[in-house]
Structure 1
Amino acid sequence: MKFNSCGRIIPDGSKYCMYCGSEARMELSCSHCGFKAIPSEALFCPVCGMRLTLKVDDCWDNLKIGDYYYSDGSFSTHLDQLKTCVGIVFSLETTAEEKKHGWTHGQIVALEDAGGERCQWGPRGSLLTTHVDEWRDVRKDKDGYLYSNSIYASKYEAFAAARKYSALLPSGKTSGWYLPSVGQWVEIIEKLGQVLIKGYGGYFGVDKEEWKPKLAFLNLSDVFYWTSLQRDSLDSWCVSFNLNGCVYTTSCCMHYRVRSV
């Protein structure tokens, strides 16, 4: 379906409108809220306000974990100082929900914290994401994209901060920033920090001085970071980079930092 200046529907593949002769423009839809019939020149969704992206197929055959990803959509194994690096590749896989929306190539983690100040996960009392309280299940949960797209209210500060992270992504090539799940944090720590998270409660299992230097390029604070996963209606999962590091649960009302993926 095509959207054109006179408002009529014309056949797929048309370059010009058969009714008014103007150049045909592709109809856009918002990958966050699903709203359709958005003019192709629009930059933001008129319903949810999120930046619009088109799904563009590029050649990603050479992408590797640890690669640098740039604001122009390119990537490299070694940092290119002439480009704006926005993230580091930590996974070459995506979830079923991401694939459903056309995002199939991999995942990156931002280089800086989102939102500046620490913030709450959100108000207590509502169970909004999957209820997971066993560590063996928690570490496998990588549905940050699914959870983030289901929570829009501004009162859920961590999610809002993750979505509004200021580093610009290349138009049409990403899903946009969101709050990572526990499983995504596990991948970041294990694949980029080269340390196996083990033990009850998700302790990193090795001395901080062994893994911290390997994650130095992420500029992580020695504090706590939110994940997108709840344990129950009162508590949510977080990651601690204090002491020797661990993954555990705490009150949704605590004020922690946010890192987008």
Structure 2
Amino acid sequence: MKNKITDKPTIRTDHYRRRNRQGYLSVLLFVLCQLSAAIWLTACTDDVAPADEQTAGSPVELTVRVAGHVQSRATTDNTWDGGEEVGVRLDGKCYKYIAGANGKLTIALGEEIPRWSGPNDKKTVVAWYPYSDKLPETFTMEKKQREDENYYKSDFLLAKEARISFGNPEITFRHLPAKVVVNVKAGDGVAEADMSNLRVSIHNHFSDELHLTKFTSGKINPTDGTVEPLPDGVHEDSLYMNALPRPASGFIKSFRALLVPQTLTKGVPFFKFYTIQQGWFYYTPQSDGELSLEPGKKYVYNITVMKDGLSVVRYEDVDEWNTEEKDIYRKETQTGYRAQDLKPFDYYYSDGTWSDGGYRRYTDGTEGWLDIAPTEGKKVIGIVFQADKNRMSQAEKSKGWERGYAVSVTVCGDHPLALWNQWEWGVGGSNIADMENDALTTFIACKNFIFGYEATRKVINEVGKGEVEALKDTKYEAFYQACQYGKTDYTKPYAAPENSSGWYLPSVGQWWDIVENLFGCKLEAPAGAPDESAYKGQDKPYVKKNIKTQLNWIPGAQNFTAAYWTSSIYDKDYAWHVGFEEKNAEFVTKKDTISLSRGNKEITCRVRAVIAF
């Protein structure tokens, strides 16, 4: 048979008071969002607490991550029951460890106990699951995976070779097999009843002139975590897929299998289907984009069986494994929000590249988040918050920076504690000459002002006579610190890549996008209300996962707390800032809130930089 490939919160006038700060602040707009997951912001500091200290001579315990996030366990459905045996090699010696429900690996009873020698101690570690007394050279896929036991036995997890330190004994496990999911439904000319006894298998893939299959075993490279597929010399059998007890929504049957990572050969059958009524029929990959099966990735094929052939949709071909087949994997992703598309929550790296951060929008109008780690070996310097070209300034797009915007993962300034990195906006009672027409006094004007790059350049040109360094020790420190991000001793790891705008102070409209896209706080004026009116705050349910999760995965990242300057003015005395408050029963604040407020230009606020690329 032939197959074809198709591939709001309201606003109010109020006073926003910041603790331990003089001056200020008459609030014109107050934006209040109820967050279902706490933003975990504190009023005094946003520095990440250090890991629990281990004293010299104490046993080496390991903290486990799976595909980028701390997990309680790491088997085929990314969960531990607790008590699983895990193999660990420390400095060349192998040990048996036991997985706990708290995401820790501890040495098994009766084992020799490896210990830290002191605060500067470092060790080389490799870990694997399931346990064996030494790291296997290969792992093997069971061919009869239609039996649940054989499907689960086919998984293998590896934490590739890494150096751990006394204060940070963390290792990252990844699944070495590739996971394939096939969802099948009846199309034109085929009755659902005809498919009640459907079976699906992976047809032998003849990789070379010797007709050797490479589906069932792989050689492990513990140094870089890669897998070399090994031919097993057997080609008359098939690998039978495991039928899920509950099919994906809208499908008659769903199947899954674990395969050794490999590159398929175009034009050779991949899936083999069988029904009593119709006999055998095949799915054969036809395009180069369908051929790669990578370690730890999941590939979903939605197949419609029709009288005259198959319709096949292959998607999410670079997703990390998540929990077992939930609805998040059974939906069709909107264009623009697929793994390969640039979108909010994606990671932006020091080399100017980016990778999938796991955010999805589906064609049915729902959203989802996949737990996807940053690319190992790369330095995350920002989180993408906007990739809509209609929300990017023409000045930046004309210079070739038209892909998107990212916000810095730390505050600007050279002090390790964010609390001490607070700066004045500028001189009160006066305006930058070129900014006189940029005063924003209405709700809609704030939203539409996305010109942070231009505003920053105006300050540099007038106050600094075109030189950023000339802003140092002036009242325009907020602009100076934003532009110096990535250039100071403490922020050098976050240096702006080539072919980017460089870091600058974001406008109020760009902060608007950060709040909406990364915190899920939908900023909307009440229907029918004049733009400049004052409104009573209204709670809004918080339904989106926020940037907290992304920051948790990035070493050195700092939380969003307190107030941050925008580069936008209200008038000659006031500029706009965005404030984050955490609910606290001991103080006035009762809910997690995000506020858009005006403040005297000579008060101090924190600074986050943004970059166009």
TM-score by length of 1: 0.70
Residue 236 of structure 1 is matched in structure 2 by 575
Say if 1:102 and 1:74 are closer, same or farther in 2 by CA, change over 3 A.
closer
Residues 520 and 545 of structure 2 are in contact (CA less than 8 Å); yes or no, is this contact kept in structure 1? Answer: no
Pair 1:203–1:252, CA change in 2 (3 A): farther
Q: Using a 3 Å threshold, how does the CA distance of structure 1 residues 148 and 168 change in structure 2: closer, same or farther?
A: same
Question: Which residue identity does 2:446 align to in structure 1?
Answer: V
Pair 1:119–1:81, CA change in 2 (3 A)? same
From 511, 520, 534, the equivalent of 1:194 is 520
SS in 1 for 2:384: strand
**What pairs up with 1:54-65 in 2 under 5 angstroms?**
62-65=341-344
- The whole-number CA distance in structure 2 between the counterparts of 1:202 and 1:227 is 24
Equivalent position of 1:184 in the other structure: 510
- How has the CA–CA distance of structure 1 residues 229 and 84 changed in structure 2, closer, same or farther, with 3 Å as cutoff? same
Provide the C-alpha distance between the structure 1 equivalents of 2:536 and 2:352, rounded to a whole number of angstroms: 34
Mean Cα displacement is larger for which, 223-232 or 241-250?
Answer: 241-250
Matched, 1:251 2:600: yes
Gapped regions of structure 1 (runs ≥ 5): 1-60
Name the SS for the 2:509 alignment partner: helix
| In 1, Cα distance between equivalents of 2:538 and 2:505 | 21
User: In structure 2, what is the Cα distance between the partners aligned to 1:255 and 1:237?
Assistant: 12
* C-alpha displacement of 1:85: 0.5
Partner residue of 1:121?
A: 425
**Does the residue aligned with 2:407 lie in a helix, a strand or coil?**
strand
Task: Indicate the SS of the match to 1:108.
Answer: strand
Change (3 A) 1:103 1:252: same
- Work out whether 1:139 is the aligned partner of 2:139: no
Structural RMSD (CA):
2.3
Instruction: Quote the offset at 1:101 in angstroms.
Output: 2.5
CA distance in structure 2 between the aligned counterparts of 1:88 and 1:187, rounded to whole angstroms? 12
1:235–1:254 distance in 2 versus 1, CA, 3 Å: same
Instruction: Find the partner of 1:112 among 407, 410, 413.
Output: 410
- CA distance, structure 1, for counterparts of residue 535 and residue 504 of structure 2: 24
Q: 1:146, 1:201 → 2: CA distance? A: 31
* Structure 2 equivalent of residue 28 of structure 1: none
Matching of residue 215 in structure 1 with residue 541 in structure 2? no
CA contact (8 A) 1:196 1:205 kept: no
Answering whether residue 482 of structure 2 is matched by residue 162 of structure 1, we say yes
> What residue ranges of structure 2 are gaps of 5+ in the alignment?
1-339, 357-371, 416-420, 465-470, 487-493, 526-533, 552-557, 582-591
* Structure with larger Rg: 2
Pick one of 210, 217, 226 that aligns with 2:565: 226
**How many Å separate the matches in 2 of 1:73 and 1:99?**
16
Residues in 2 aligned to 1:151 and 1:66: alpha-carbon distance in whole angstroms: 30
The answer (yes or no) to whether the contact 2:383–2:406 under 8 Å persists in 1 is yes
1:79-98 equivalences in 2 (<5 Å): 79-92=374-387, 93=389, 94-98=392-396
Q: Which amino acid aligns with 1:165?
A: Y
Mapped contact 1:120–1:157 kept (Cα < 8 A)? yes
Q: Distance in 1 between matches of 2:402 and 2:496?
A: 16
Separation in 2 of the partners of 1:188 and 1:138? 13
Tell me if the contact between 2:345 and 2:547 (Cα under 8 Å) persists in the aligned partners.
no
Percent identity between the aligned chains? Answer: 32
Q: Secondary structure at the match of 1:64?
A: coil
Deviations along 1:115-168, whole A, 9 cap, x unmatched? 141000011122223111111211111000100111123121111110011211
